[in-house]
Amino acid sequence: MKRAFAESLESLQIAVENLVGARLRSFLTTLGIVIGVMTVITIVAIIQGLNTSFQTSIASLGAHTLYVSKWAWFANGRDEWWELRNRKDLGKRELEAIDRQATLAVAVAPMGMTQSDVSRDDFEAPNVQVIGTNAQYLATGAGTVSAGRFLVETDVELTRNTVVLGADVADRLFPGFTLEQMLDRRITLAGKHFQVVGVMDRRGKMLGQSMDSNVIVPYTAFLRDFGGKRGLNIAVSGEPETLSNLEDQLVEILRRVRRVPPEKKDDFSLNRQEQFLRTYNQLTGSLYGVAIGVGLITLIVGGIGIMNIMLVSVTERTREIGVRRALGARRSTILMQFLVESSIVAALGGAIGTALGLGLAQIIAMTTPLAAAVNGSAIALGIGFSAVVGLVFGIWPAWRAARLDPVEALRHE
């Protein structure tokens, strides 16, 4: 054990001395490894950053909320899109049926949506998303109020002109105001005055779109001002353990109220958060595959470069190997020396590639909407895998060095 430890230290020392003595060659040898690891780390950092950002955004949909709509969130091809387009809109009849009959529902909130300009005096917020809903909207996982209150049932029943502002709209219409100062002020929406009763907490972006550029009004006022025949989406939240049963219950209610014959398919869609996650994971899975493929190809090329340089090194140091063998060095000692050297070269390239990859990912995160993050395991994997590549591709040169005949090696010029 003592001898093995001493030989390992000696091999490490010799390897470092040789690498330092041929710095340019060592750098060029590691270049392939650097590029491969940098590529993989950059892609992994961006994907992990997107994962974190996406999971935070998708949580706003409500983990236990079903969204009833005539549209499916993801249509497979043009034919299905036309089929969805030709469905009947959902309206107050479906909303009232679900509200009365869905015994497993915790909250039921309609969602009518359109775009409109909103203004106050000389301040204007163009193309704001107008959401018409009821008092149960927040219970479906749609955020929280930072000031004032949300809509109440009497706002809906009496079709009041009350409005809750998204954070971006509040900033645009009331620059320099505190949240409390915005309350009870009037804004103009669809040519009518609406009283501000609350301001929503900031929610950030989802899929690149702001979730704060909106105003929320009673859905009865929404239908009055933007068209009584406008279609609605319906958010229905339930308990986690009964969500599947709630889905079955909604299908039964909707088929009955929409009079869908038994032999016909559903003419509505039930959308869930998991659909976004499933599609997103498929996309990022493909990106991971591309990253791994590119990285492996580059690492193999880099490994071949290491093997080539190590073979040249064996030839150059043949006489040195002969001297060491003549002085009693064992074949295993020579083998270990060259394996350690090739591993150090590759690990060094992996470390440089990891640092460059992280730096490039941060630059991308600062200059584009893409997020970037990476955990310690990815860094350790990048450096460790590089060292393994160096070890594998260093076996042949190390074996050749160890198998040299001492007498012939000493004669080498």
- N-to-C CA span, the chain: 36
Summarize the confidence of residues 254-268 as an average pLDDT: 89
Per-residue pLDDT tens over the stretch 343-390: 877 888 888 888 888 888 888 777 776 667 766 777 777 777 788 888
Highest mean pLDDT among 19-28, 220-229, 293-302, 362-371: 220-229
What pLDDT, on a 0 to 100 scale, did the predictor assign at position 6? 54
Residue type, position 359, single letter: G
Q: Is the pLDDT of residue 62 over 90?
A: no
User: Band of the pLDDT at 32, cuts 50, 70, 90?
Assistant: confident
Per-residue pLDDT tens over the stretch 89-141: 898 899 999 999 999 999 999 999 999 999 998 899 999 999 999 999 998 87
Q: Is the pLDDT of residue 4 over 60?
A: no
What pLDDT, on a 0 to 100 scale, did the predictor assign at position 12? 58
Token duo for residue 288: 């991971």
What pLDDT, on a 0 to 100 scale, did the predictor assign at position 25? 66
> What is the CB-side half-sphere exposure of residue 252 using CA atoms within 13 A?
10
Per-residue pLDDT tens over the stretch 34-49: 887 888 788 778 777 7
* CB contact at 8 A, 288 and 378: no
> Based on the number of CB atoms within 10 Å of its own CB, is 72 exposed (0-12), middle (13-18) or buried (19 or more)?
middle
CA angle at residue 220 from 216 to 222, to 5 degrees? 50
What pLDDT, on a 0 to 100 scale, did the predictor assign at position 129? 94
Distance CA 87, CA 71 (A): 8
Q: What are the CA-CA distances from residue 390 to residues 313, 336, 396, 398 (Å)?
A: 15, 13, 11, 11
Q: Is the pLDDT of residue 149 over 90?
A: yes
What pLDDT, on a 0 to 100 scale, did the predictor assign at position 214? 95
Per-residue pLDDT tens over the stretch 285-327: 777 777 777 777 877 877 887 888 778 777 777 787 787 777 7
